[in-house]
Structure 1
Amino acid sequence: MAQDGARRGLAGVDAAARRLGLHPGMSAAHAGALVPGLHLVPADEAADAAALARLGLWCQRYAPIVALDPPDGLMIDITGAAHLHGGEAPLLADLSARLERSGILARLAIADAPGCAWGVARFGEGGIVPRGGAGQATTGLPVAALRLGFEAVRALQDVGITRVGHLLDKPRASLRLRFGAELLFRLDRALGREPEPLTALAAPETPRVALRFAEPVGARESLERIVADLCARLVPDLERRGLGARRLDLVFARVDRLDQAIRIGTAGPSRDAAHLARLLGERLPLVDPGFGIEEAVLSASRVEPLAERQDTHLAAGPQAPDLAALVDTLLVRLGAARVYRLAPVESDLPERAVRRVPALAAPLGAVWPTDLPRPARLLAPPEPVTAMAEIPDAPPLFFVWRNTRHLIARADGPERILGEWWVADAEADLTRDYYRVETEAGERFWLFRDGPMQANGRWWLHGLGEA
């Protein structure tokens, strides 16, 4: 419960209260009338603000620029960062799932303009607004979605203007004359006509360096020199702390206050200034300097301990190549989701016997089997095929896959693989007989028949080629 002058209102409600029809903003008197004996707890605004700031810092995992929208909102500028998470839809799904697992009820929206995203998240259905679709997305929203004050909303409602779309049909001059310039300012921000700068949240303990310029800069060569200078200034701070950078965020403050941000990540902790500058340089083409940049701030938003290391130039044997620089470059160019290696897992089921790990991750303990031939590529999930065999426990004579008939010239098998009952009860009776087959055309496939002891067992294609 929060006190706003003489009015007491609900600042927040739990799931049980929502089911009873209560919602934030409702007056305490109204809530008490709906739910007799309602237990109200005074809101702790300082604790709420601190929690919101902590959540904002956590959200920097998605993009460098995260701004507070108190008392209960956050703005994340994902420009140039969405591809690092597989795109806007995967980013939104991941954020939603993580918040839900943490017990945080949230409404999320992505749009070209912060004002549009704010309105769609709070008064619409959320989700992703197509590029250039701010007008259509906000037309049906109530005028409160424009972030207007209580009195302004009431004044509009008194004359029958209840939806944003009603404003779009009215002459702007008459709207300005009757309701003031603030209404048009908020409307333009919701439609993306008026730029809206965001003030990035910063953790006080984050290693950070900044450069401010007497005159705005914008040339590519100037930005490259600035990046090199910032990295050279940041590395001594990392050395004093015994840390290496795993993620760097570079924010360029433009003269029009529309900040531009780029982010790079590394496979391991690094404080090689030249290497870090090269990685940031890969992202510079994404920066739009506009009418000029007046300040640049470089932050090591993710760090790990990094001890000094003595190079072994006199070692007796050949040294393993250091792939960190190559992996870092690939991470910046392709994104973390596309740079990985495959590691073995101790499992009999082929689909569980391998998993993706970071490119430079330490060995997990399991080793690749050398006595079991496996296909070069697994299909996930296995695809059903139509096959004909002389007897149930014999390899097929032919099979039909994707409307193509394959005649089998040679076959090897069966290799029986049983389900792992200790992983899932449903696998207690799982049985597969695998066959390596070569067709008359020279193609190699990996087939299996499930339930081989049953007359209704089905054939599946699980792999292609041979490793």
Structure 2
Amino acid sequence: MPRVVSIYLPELTIERIRRTDGAKELSLDHPLVVVARSGSKRWISAADIKAREAGIRVGMPAAKAQAIVRGLQMIDADPAADTAALERITLWALTHYSPIVAMDAPDGIVMDTEGADHLQGGEALMLSGIVNRFHARGLTARVVVADSWGAAHAVARAGSHDTVIVPHGEIARFVERLPLSFLRLVPEIVTSLRTLGFQRIGELAATPRAPLALRFGPEIGRRLDQLYGRMPEPIDPIRPAELIEVSRTFAEPIGAPETIEKYMTRLVAQLCLELQKRGLGARRIDLIVHKVDNTLQAIRAGTARAARDVAWLTKLFRDRIEKIEPGFGIEKLSLVAVMTEPLAEAQKASSLIEEETVDIAPLIDVIGNRGQRVYRLGPVASDVPERSVRLMGALSGEVSACWTLHWPRPVRLLAQPEPIEVIALLPDHPPVSITWRGKRLRVKRADGPERIFGEWWTRSSEYEAVRDYFVIEDEAGKRLWIFRSGDGVDTATGSHRWFLHGIFS
């Protein structure tokens, strides 16, 4: 069953204007609104949070908004720029999340993540990752996954939570109390339905279809069926002009696994030929399956480094052919290289001695396409432990930074230092005992302190901050890495609370 993700960008217009304000002509201290025009009429089409808190609402006449807020900043609407920004975001989502991604204009993106969410660690991690990445780029996002496009679209725009997962088969529980405006009907129909007494989607869904169809046509029934997943709603995926794509259309639908494999192999060879002509290698390839019932299914395969080896790319897809559900038949297969990199031909140096070379890229590809994350740890020039490590691609190049530490470091560093209770003589004596997660541990040996100073050149709040680290060993031989926030004398250097930060092997 397909799973559809709707990404709602409620502040897209305002955030686009703020991001493109390179000269900083717009003040962050004053409310900002966007004004749309139609003939002589001018109204508010978007407003930032300051403007909304001041009482301005979308649809309000611009003159009234000016009268309400003194010093209101007003920018003319630019729908073309908003559409272009949404298109760029959609193309970015295509390369990161799913083979089937489309614009849900004017303020959203829709994705079919069936077969792709495992690459992100599951639906919960995928949704939180989407929100975090959008927030890191200064974009507000609400993300919902459901069984249908209509349900995901409605819940994303009706709620206030950043992420919502609508479980399989539970659409009705989430949408029945939503207003009719979230059903994606034209405003005239919504106004007429409200005149007749309908307020919620559930009320409309429980009404016989015949009288509604007689008065309003088939649109209401179609939208309800799409909302509840009774009628498929195909997503037409976005495709940039420079994307490398090969496809094969069949006069008669196919469905047998061996037939799918045969044509898929031919498409891989054709795609590699196109990549070779352009001097490129593929990092991410999508196999799009077009079915006769106008639905799509996609399989995504990625590589740790650029590749165009026919045999290897064929194997990556052959291992997952059993996931394809042909249904009533497949009428078209498409293979799309959504992420490419330059790849030059390499000549192997001849030698009289057979040299054994170990290439772990195929192993990384197999593990990665099973939904596991493969990465390496890279050093960062920082004395603060949690800032001294960063995740890198498994086959990324060498880095210039290195660790120059004279004190031992634990094998495992906790994601967040955990508070502990300590008995110790201040300021420089090691602990006698600690209590961690409700269990008291007596300290048998200890080494320290190692003092780490705050990075005042990057964070002014750390100008006086220090940490004193100790390596301790309890009576059972467990070795832990703990620290005290502060120097043990001056409270300006830290709270003097103790934390456990790492565990040695």
Q: TM-score with structure 1 length normalisation?
A: 0.86
Q: Give the secondary-structure state (helix, strand or coil) at the position aligned to 2:91.
A: helix
The answer on whether the counterparts of 2:44 and 2:57 sit within 8 Å (CA) in structure 1 is: no
Q: Give the secondary-structure state (helix, strand or coil) at the position aligned to 2:314.
A: helix
Q: Mark the CA change 1:429 to 1:307 in structure 2 (over 3 Å): closer, same or farther.
A: same
Question: For residue 179 of structure 2, what is the aligned residue in structure 1?
Answer: 142
In structure 1, the gaps of 5 or more residues are none
Correspondence list, 1:93-132, <5 A: 93-96=128-131, 98-99=133-134, 108-125=143-160, 127-131=163-167, 132=169
Question: For residue 285 of structure 2, what is the aligned residue in structure 1?
Answer: 248
Tell me which of 316, 321, 331 is aligned to 2:368: 331
Amino acid in the other structure paired with 2:500: L
Question: For residue 351 of structure 1, what is the aligned residue in structure 2?
Answer: 386
Tell me which of 407, 427, 430 is aligned to 2:442: 407
Paired with 2:450 and 2:73, the residues of 1 have a C-alpha distance of 65
For residues 333-391 of structure 1, give each alpha carbon's deviation from its aligned partner in whole angstroms, at most 9, with x where no partner exists. Answer: 134xx211112222222222222111111121223447432221112322233333467
Q: Give the secondary-structure state (helix, strand or coil) at the position aligned to 1:13.
A: strand
| Further displaced range: 227-236 or 88-97 | 88-97
Amino acid in the other structure paired with 1:447: I
Correspondence list, 1:222-301, <5 A: 222-301=259-338
Question: For residue 501 of structure 2, what is the aligned residue in structure 1?
Answer: 462
**Within the alignment, does 1:445 sit opposite 2:477 as a pair?**
no
Paired with 1:54 and 1:411, the residues of 2 have a C-alpha distance of 55
Question: For residue 29 of structure 2, what is the aligned residue in structure 1?
Answer: none
For residues 241-279 of structure 1, give each alpha carbon's deviation from its aligned partner in whole angstroms, at most 9, with x where no partner exists. Answer: 011111111110011111001212221111112211222
Tell me which of 182, 198, 201 is aligned to 2:219: 182
Tell me which of 46, 57, 68 is aligned to 1:13: 46
Question: For residue 7 of structure 2, what is the aligned residue in structure 1?
Answer: none
Question: For residue 198 of structure 2, what is the aligned residue in structure 1?
Answer: 161
For residues 176-195 of structure 1, give each alpha carbon's deviation from its aligned partner in whole angstroms, at most 9, with x where no partner exists. Answer: 34443321121111111111
Amino acid in the other structure paired with 2:268: C
State the Cα distance separating 1:203 from its structure 2 match. 1.3
| Further displaced range: 238-247 or 322-331 | 322-331
**Within the alignment, does 1:380 sit opposite 2:415 as a pair?**
yes
Question: For residue 90 of structure 2, what is the aligned residue in structure 1?
Answer: 56
Amino acid in the other structure paired with 2:172: G
Q: Mark the CA change 1:427 to 1:294 in structure 2 (over 3 Å): closer, same or farther.
A: same
Tell me which of 357, 361, 364 is aligned to 2:399: 364
Q: Give the secondary-structure state (helix, strand or coil) at the position aligned to 1:334.
A: coil
| Further displaced range: 323-332 or 404-413 | 404-413
In structure 2, the gaps of 5 or more residues are 1-35
Question: For residue 349 of structure 2, what is the aligned residue in structure 1?
Answer: 312
Paired with 1:266 and 1:217, the residues of 2 have a C-alpha distance of 28
Q: Mark the CA change 1:256 to 1:461 in structure 2 (over 3 Å): closer, same or farther.
A: same
RMSD of aligned Cα (Å): 3.3
Paired with 2:113 and 2:190, the residues of 1 have a C-alpha distance of 30
Paired with 2:75 and 2:219, the residues of 1 have a C-alpha distance of 35
The answer on whether the counterparts of 2:426 and 2:488 sit within 8 Å (CA) in structure 1 is: no
The answer on whether the counterparts of 1:2 and 1:11 sit within 8 Å (CA) in structure 2 is: no
The answer on whether the counterparts of 2:118 and 2:370 sit within 8 Å (CA) in structure 1 is: no
The answer on whether the counterparts of 2:381 and 2:403 sit within 8 Å (CA) in structure 1 is: no
Q: Give the secondary-structure state (helix, strand or coil) at the position aligned to 1:333.
A: coil
Q: Mark the CA change 1:370 to 1:226 in structure 2 (over 3 Å): closer, same or farther.
A: farther
Q: How many residues align?
A: 458
Paired with 2:134 and 2:306, the residues of 1 have a C-alpha distance of 28
